[in-house]
């Protein structure tokens, strides 16, 4: 008998892209900043983008929280682009300070991130609930010899079921006697 265990979600899957991370960070950091402060952030992001790109090529030490080099470089590239977008928006619209709620495109992206985060939390909760329900379940692959296998297939065919469904119905009807004997009362397999 071989017991099958359901596959767990893949490790290392990222919910947010580098652009999502950058947009979220910039949106929070830019709140209330004036055009000059945003321009400083653009310059800082340009320097960090260049530094991480150089470090990615192997031309420097990497000290950023044990983060994947490619991911960190992608985040700084995206942050630089997002800071430029915020600066250009403020200049074009004439804002004296950045207010995230007034940034239509940034608000659309933020709602998308929030929806994906809520969806991921719901999926995680559902996965946890399924694991709790499945804790008592047993998934088994059964290898039967020819004669019992033919019998199960014939019963399944007559009932319009798959052989595994017939075996499941058999297992659901098992009765264990006080002396440990196992029996199955007569029944007709059905959908």
Dist CA 109 CA 16 (whole Å):
11
Best CA proximity match to 144, nearest among 167, 114, 118, 178: 167
Dist CA 34 CA 96 (whole Å):
6
- Tens digits of residue pLDDT in 82-137: 999 999 999 999 999 999 999 999 999 999 999 988 888 898 888 888 777 766 67
The reported pLDDT for the residue numbered 131 is 77
The reported pLDDT for the residue numbered 67 is 59
Q: What secondary structure, in 3-state letters, does the chain show?
A: CEECCCCCCCCCCCCCCHHHHHHHHHHHHHCCCEHHHHHHHHHHHHHHHHHHHHHHCCCCCCCCCCCCHHHHHHHHHHHHHHHHHHHHHHHHHCCCECCHHHCHHHHHHHHHHHHHHHHHHHHHHHHHHHHHHHCCCCCEECCCCHHHHHHHHHHHHHHCCCHHHHHHHHHHCCEECCCCCEECCCCCCCC
The reported pLDDT for the residue numbered 117 is 87
Dist CA 188 CA 191 (whole Å):
10
Give the chain's residues under pLDDT 50: 1-12, 64-65
The reported pLDDT for the residue numbered 61 is 54
pTM above 0.85, yes or no: no
């Amino acid at each position: 008998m071989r017991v099958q265990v359901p596959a767990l979600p893949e490790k290392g899957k990222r919910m947010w892209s580098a652009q999502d991370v950058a947009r979220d960070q910039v949106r929070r950091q830019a709140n209330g900043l004036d055009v000059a402060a945003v321009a400083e952030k653009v310059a800082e992001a340009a320097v960090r983008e260049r530094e991480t790109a150089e470090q990615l090529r192997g031309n420097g030490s990497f000290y950023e929280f044990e983060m994947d080099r490619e991911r960190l470089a992608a985040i700084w590239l995206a942050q630089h682009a997002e800071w430029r977008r915020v600066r250009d928006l403020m200049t074009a619209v004439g804002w004296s300070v950045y207010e995230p709620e007034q940034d239509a495109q940034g608000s659309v992206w933020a709602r998308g991130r929030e929806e994906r985060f809520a969806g991921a939390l719901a999926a995680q909760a559902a996965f946890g609930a399924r694991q709790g329900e499945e804790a008592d379940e047993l998934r088994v692959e059964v290898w039967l010899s020819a004669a019992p296998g033919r019998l199960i297939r014939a019963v399944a065919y007559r009932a319009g079921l798959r052989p595994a469904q017939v075996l499941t119905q058999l297992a659901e009807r098992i009765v264990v006697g006080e002396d440990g004997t196992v029996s199955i009362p007569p029944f007709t397999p059905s959908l």
